Structure 1
Amino acid sequence: MPGGHCPATAIQRPSWACRWSDWSPCSLTERWHARESRHVDPCRRTHAPRGDRASGGGGHGLPCSLLDPAGKTRCAQKQADHPAILDRHRPGADPAPVRFPEPGRSGRPSQGLYPVLAGVPAAGRPDRRCRDGRCREQFQAARSRIDPAPGRHVHRFRSTRRMNNAHEQPAPSLPRPIATIGSWVYGGVVSLRNRRFDHRQAAKVDVPVISVGNIVAGGTGKSPMVAWLVHRLCSMGFSPAVALRGYGSDSHGSSDEAMEHELVLPSIPIIVHPDRHAAISRHLAGDTNVDVVVLDDGFQHRRIHRDLDLVLVDATRPCLDDRLLPAGWLREPAGSLGRADGVIITHADAVGTEQLDHLQQRIIAITGKRPIARARHVWQGIDLHEVDGSMRREELARLDGMTVGTILGVGRPASVRIQAEHSGATVVWDVPVKDHQVYDRDLLSRIARMEPVDAVMMTRKDWVKVHALGGAAAIGRSVVVPDLAMELTSDFGLEDALQKVRQIK
């Protein structure tokens, strides 16, 4: 029987015994954590990047010490070829810096704002971000150093836990087999639900309805898109209202999203209720001025008829080939885009032309229609809230040179941190919180005890909840709130679709 050298015992043993030794509890735990954290280890082919699988390395995923001599030679060669990868994952080693190329200045145009490991060949990095049931977060600033622009200071980003926050992944605590089974069950429920609505008449209201939604869990820009639509409808002579479910509503029926809309759209009626058809009907009975309703996150709410159904797809994280929740990020299959009247690509400026064109072709293949618009997120300025209760609007240049800590209870917190870095701010620490985080005095006290910085940065969705607890005075620090807005970079039919709504009116 062919033998193999087992270093743990320094004796000759059959090769099958060496392989079974790799299934000890310690080895299994190590392999599980390596798989979950996506360690790029060229010595284990099961965890190696796909670009390297055609080259050397063992074929059975065992450590180098358990391979035959030829296998050891190939693995040693790969160690010499990929020093940055090995340094990044050697215990106690400092992680390799991560560069975030500015839009249009990347060496790889299709890469956009994806992180680039310094010193790692392109063949050693995954080309796709949605694979094997997981959509990999493109903005992994939380695990490494950030060099936001050429010549800018590279610093250590400190966090209260791993900066690749668990809440940025779907169901992070579930083992993959359980998440996969859950995805099958969830997919069956979604399929039955959609089939039922395909054969029933949706309830109508007395005014036109425009829906804004998505098919991917996490932030795609629904709130700023709703605000853009409301302003555009007002300029067209409409008197719009906004209706939303109100996720995480309190006993008074108020939610963070509703309070954010009230802050941005102070003169617009905001209707909050899980049964949006009944709530809209009641509101229209008492307010005859409203002549159009905008549904926030309404694509899955199929009980109410809509005259214009818009779906947002994030160019930096489309996930159209991903699995359904909880194994992936999809809320429903990508084929559901076919029932939308129009698809809008957001964050279109954050990726290269090649990747943007590829995404457009993918959408055309699914829906049979080209996207009706491309948009980008912009910070129009910042609101600086002082401890004494005052607030003043500042230009975005005010962030240049400022040190900030972040607390971001949104679906895509890493994208906010990246934008802060590109605006010149230095992110010193981050307090990880989940989307729709419930704020209390203990959390604010925790923020107050963090390392001194010039200001604490948070989104409007966070600020409306912090303001209710005392605002900046409760934290003892100045608070910076970016003024986020949506801008169209290309219009391929959105304006025509809105004009059709005018005809319905």
Structure 2
Amino acid sequence: MAENRPTSGGVFCFLLKSIFNFASFFYGKGVQIHRLLYQKNIFKTESFEKTVISIGNLTWGGTGKTPMVEYIANYFITREKIPMILARGYGKDESKELANKLPAAQLGIGSDRVAVAKKILSKSSIDMILLDDGFQHWRIKRDFDIVLINALNPFGNLSILPRGILREPMSSLSRASFIILTDTNLVPRKETDFLKEKIRTFNPPVEFAEACHEPVCFYRADSPHKQIPLDQLEGKRMTVFSGIGMPRSFQMILNRIGVKSVRNFEFDDHHMFLSRELEDIRKEKSLSRSEGSITTEKDYFRCPGRITQILNPYILKIHMRLISGEEEFQTRLDSFFEEGSHG
């Protein structure tokens, strides 16, 4: 009787899984030690006189941090307050997008966010600091920790990087001051309710809001100030391309608008498009007899010149809309600027 021997493919998969498990274990330990060094005051934590609001997540990309930073900044700007947005700048697309959309805000970009903040504070008058992607940034003390979780794929396979998408263990949700579930309009109600129950096992008293990425309009890359109504592309055959954390959400939004995606190109988050890649997309667009191409604002701002020159696609403009819990969330934001509060 022949023995059941493992195939070379099975052995390779086993080894690969073992390597990822090993790497995830040490990544998690590194995160734990890094946090402990700040908790024990071995590494110094910086405090500012201004209120610091962190907008972050527990997973790698695709939760909607940039639209939420825009939402909060606009909320304060409309109340005649000036926010400073602190970002690391590794995702230059987000920085360009925020600079374009929020000219009234002070934008601080740099790997040393403490130094950047101090420099801006010495020259400018601001009312609060918005710490972009700040949940794992221990160096700056914050007053309010907002964590975004995408309901379409909340925690991946529950593993820490690089085996999974978690940047920290799920128990870290206990630090969250407020949790915003994004893309809840794209999942069944029971999945959202189950997700909340799961999160409350780590943080029973935490408050929730639910949000969606709401499409506003399209515009052409060469005419960014000329809005095109959403229904103008309804039923149109289009080639779609993106390099974002949650391309599934983008596709679902386009489907709801009524766009017929005949070709779809998905790249890694923060992908810097090469000319040859855009040329390939243009060729496929022609071969598929598409009536045009569509991408996201985030992708457009990453390399606007090249994208405009080669494809001149339609750009989908979206904003973050809170569909539940907005009043409670805004009350928490307002509380930092009531008489006698911090800041």
Task: Tell me whether 1:287 sits opposite 2:143 in the alignment.
Answer: no
Equivalent residue number for residue 496 of structure 1: 331
Structure 2 Cα separation of the partners of residues 438 and 351 of structure 1: 30
Number of aligned residues? 334
Q: Provide the secondary structure at the position in 2 that maps to 1:322.
A: coil
Equivalent residue number for residue 194 of structure 1: 35
Q: Provide the secondary structure at the position in 1 that maps to 2:146.
A: strand
Alignment of 1:226-265 (within 5 A): 226-247=69-90, 255-265=92-102
Residue of structure 2 aligned with 1:354, choices 169, 190, 194: 190
CA deviation vs aligned residue, 1:65-100 (integer Å, no higher than 9, x gap)? xxxxxxxxxxxxxxxxxxxxxxxxxxxxxxxxxxxx
Contact kept in structure 2, 1:363 and 1:371, CA below 8 Å: no
Equivalent residue number for residue 380 of structure 1: 216
Query: Cα 1:430–1:295, aligned 2, differ >3 Å: closer, same or farther?
Result: same
Query: Cα 1:315–1:186, aligned 2, differ >3 Å: closer, same or farther?
Result: same
- Displacement, 1:391? 5.2
Task: Tell me whether 1:275 sits opposite 2:112 in the alignment.
Answer: yes
Alignment of 1:96-495 (within 5 A): 175-200=16-41, 202-247=45-90, 255-288=92-125, 290-319=126-155, 322-386=158-222, 392-452=226-286, 453-469=290-306, 471-472=307-308, 474-475=309-310, 477-491=311-325, 493-495=328-330
Q: Provide the secondary structure at the position in 2 that maps to 1:407.
A: strand
- Displacement, 1:306? 0.9
Query: Match for 1:495: what amino acid?
Result: Q
Structure 1 Cα separation of the partners of residues 49 and 191 of structure 2: 42
Contact kept in structure 2, 1:205 and 1:277, CA below 8 Å: no
When Rg is computed on C-alpha atoms for both structures, the one with the higher figure is 1
Q: Provide the secondary structure at the position in 2 that maps to 1:318.
A: coil
Structure 2 Cα separation of the partners of residues 356 and 382 of structure 1: 29
CA deviation vs aligned residue, 1:339-386 (integer Å, no higher than 9, x gap)? 121111111222222221111111111012233311111111112335
Structure 1 Cα separation of the partners of residues 46 and 178 of structure 2: 21
Unmatched tracts of structure 2, length 5 or more: none
TM-score under structure 2 length normalisation? 0.90
Higher strand proportion (structure 1 or 2): 2
Query: Match for 2:143: what amino acid?
Result: D
Q: Provide the secondary structure at the position in 2 that maps to 1:458.
A: strand
Query: Match for 1:501: what amino acid?
Result: F
TM-score under structure 1 length normalisation? 0.62
Between the two structures, name the one with larger relative contact order (CA 8 Å, sep ≥ 6): 2
Equivalent residue number for residue 106 of structure 1: none
Give the fraction of aligned pairs with identical amino acids, expressed as a percent. Answer: 28
Contact kept in structure 2, 1:320 and 1:334, CA below 8 Å: no
Contact kept in structure 1, 2:285 and 2:292, CA below 8 Å: no
Unmatched tracts of structure 1, length 5 or more: 1-13, 37-173, 249-254
Contact kept in structure 1, 2:54 and 2:130, CA below 8 Å: yes
Query: Match for 1:217: what amino acid?
Result: W
Query: Match for 1:184: what amino acid?
Result: F
Q: Provide the secondary structure at the position in 2 that maps to 1:494.
A: helix
Structure 1 Cα separation of the partners of residues 264 and 38 of structure 2: 43
Q: Provide the secondary structure at the position in 1 that maps to 2:62.
A: coil
Equivalent residue number for residue 19 of structure 1: 4
Structure 1 Cα separation of the partners of residues 216 and 321 of structure 2: 10
Query: Match for 1:411: what amino acid?
Result: G
CA deviation vs aligned residue, 1:120-141 (integer Å, no higher than 9, x gap)? xxxxxxxxxxxxxxxxxxxxxx
Q: Provide the secondary structure at the position in 2 that maps to 1:175.
A: helix
Contact kept in structure 1, 2:156 and 2:165, CA below 8 Å: no
Contact kept in structure 2, 1:363 and 1:369, CA below 8 Å: no
Structure 1 Cα separation of the partners of residues 171 and 45 of structure 2: 20
Contact kept in structure 1, 2:57 and 2:63, CA below 8 Å: yes
Q: Provide the secondary structure at the position in 1 that maps to 2:258.
A: coil
